[in-house]
Amino acid sequence: MKSTLVMLLAGGAGSRLNVLGAARAKPAVPFGGVYRIIDFALSNAMNSGLNIVGVLTQYKPLSLMEHIGTGEAWDFVGRTRGAKILPPRTGQEDSDWYKGTADAVRQNIDFIESNNPDKILILSGDHIYNMDYASLIRCHETKKADLTIGMLIVPWEDTRHFGIAITDDEDRIIDWEEKPAKARNNYASMGIYVFEADYLLHRLKQHEGHDFGHNIIPDAIKNDNVFAYPFSGYWRDVGTIQAYWEANMDLLKPESGLALKDWGMRSNVEEEGRFADRAPAFIAPDGNVKNSILSPGCIVHGYVENSILSPGVIVEKGAVITDSVIMHNCLIHKQSKVQESILDKKVTIGEYTEIGVGSGAIANIDKPEHLSSGLVVIGKGAIVPPNIKVGKNSILHPRLRAGDYKSNNIQPGETIRPLAEV
């Protein structure tokens, strides 16, 4: 794999993740207790024998850059190995940012040419899956393709979110629909592309299109050899709150196919504030945990079921957590209840407070497209005072304090912001 260069697209804003993406790029969102979403693409690249990864960042990249560091966590260190952060370099304004996936790679042609690869593997940093990229590259070579695209079957109702391929009996892509309103097929792009390096560089220099799905791929299909690589394993785009929660819950279901240890997933355990120096999780005599994941540093005196707890979460006596994702260093005070919720880092839930009550029939009033299934999402560093009830489909913004709450009864579908922002 020495002749293949990886370009990992990791600049997404994650707007559909709402407050979870407020302070970080989507690939940097924590997942499964001790991981971040980008760990899957990095681990896959490591396990596939690839050596050089360029990580293209853009939106709020600090946490992502700190997480990747030197790349040592994934063995991307050494004379012939490395992981390099590649931010936009044309200017400082939003208008100077990458204008699309193809533009992001185009702006880094000098990095590509300095590595002189035979092939370029382009990945997205915001999907949960396990793939042997070596097998994909061998398929590309066997077909003598100019471009090979990782593809999988998706439900028909989801086709409007993807690039959709029409293929012949030999898996050659003969037509393409980018996020169609009414698709002719349900064979969807995974956002994984293998290009012949010379071919891609020529295309990027000659073609002004900013996006692979909208511009580069349709043109390539008309003129060159483009093939599909079929994939049938576990794969999730966790770009929505619901999909993110469901993927975390899949970790608790042996039949789901999501098996991080078997996949050989790695994370940066030395990153500041993570879990390298934390004590093992502790379940006190008055604690009870069922079908859940507890990360190092967790202390449980209450009841936890069907939930994922990141490092440093404390659950006090009598507190109950069910069907929830609780990120780093959250404090759940005594006799409180948290159900079907996602709590970002450093959230504090006061005594006798209940999160996720009432009916889930009312979608979030401000962002119904983000939250309608009954989940509650609480932003980083928010404090929820004692004796408050928070209804389903509510969004609580980061850094809330006691004085920001006008009522002790947050109705289903409400959004609570700091008063300074209202």
> For residue range 356-414, what is the model confidence (pLDDT) as tens digits?
999 888 999 999 999 999 999 999 999 999 999 999 999 999 999 999 999 999 999 99
> Do 239 and 141 reside in the same domain of the chain?
yes
Residue 156 is assigned to a structural domain of this protein:
yes
CA gap 383, 158 in Å, rounded: 36
Q: What is the DSSP letter of 131?
A: -
Is residue 145 domain-shared with residue 191, that is, in the same domain? yes
293 and 163 inside one domain? no
In a domain, 272, yes or no: no
Whole-model pTM over 0.85:
yes
Boundary residue ending a domain (201, 233, 263): 263
DSSP letter for each residue of 324-355: -EE-TT-EE-TT-EEESEEE-TT-EE-TT-EE
Percentage of the chain modeled with pLDDT above 90: 83
Number of H helices, E strands in the chain: 9, 33
Q: Is 287 helix (H, G, I), strand (E, B) or coil?
A: coil
The answer to whether residues 93 and 217 belong to one domain is yes
Whether residue 95 is predicted with pLDDT greater than 60 in this model: the reply is no
> What CA–CA distances, in Å, run from 79 to 3, 52, 326?
15, 10, 39
Residues 195 and 248 in one domain: yes
Supply the CATH number for residue 410's domain: 2.160.10.10
CATH of the domain at 259: 3.90.550.10
Are residues 149 and 180 located together in one domain of the fold?
Answer: yes
**Does residue 174 sit in the same domain as residue 312?**
no
Whether residues 44 and 141 share a domain: the answer is yes
By DSSP bridging, strand 235-237 and strand 127-129 are antiparallel
Gap between the Cα atoms of 311 and 313, Å rounded: 6
Grade residue 355 by pLDDT with cuts at 50, 70 and 90. Answer: very high
- Specify if 390 maps to a domain: yes
Retrieve residue 4's tokens.
Answer: 């293949």
Residue 277 lies in a domain: no
Cα separation, 273 vs 213, in Å, equals 38
Indicate the residue among 201, 235, 263 that finishes a domain.
Answer: 263
32 and 146 co-located in one domain: yes
Q: H-type helices in 72-171, by residue range?
A: 101-106, 109-115, 133-143
Q: Given 263, 290, 317, which residue is the final one in a domain?
A: 263
Helix (H) or strand (E) holding 6: strand 4-9
Q: Which token pair is 409?
A: 């009864």
Same domain, 318 and 365: yes
Can you read off the two tokens belonging to residue 402?
């006691």
Instruction: Compute φ and ψ for 89, nearest 5 degrees.
Output: -125, 5
Count of domains forming the chain: 2
Is 289 a domain residue? yes
For the chain, the first-to-last Cα distance in angstroms comes to 53
Is the pLDDT score of 338 beyond 70? Answer: yes
Do 175 and 309 fall within a single domain?
no
Domain span holding position 403: 282-421
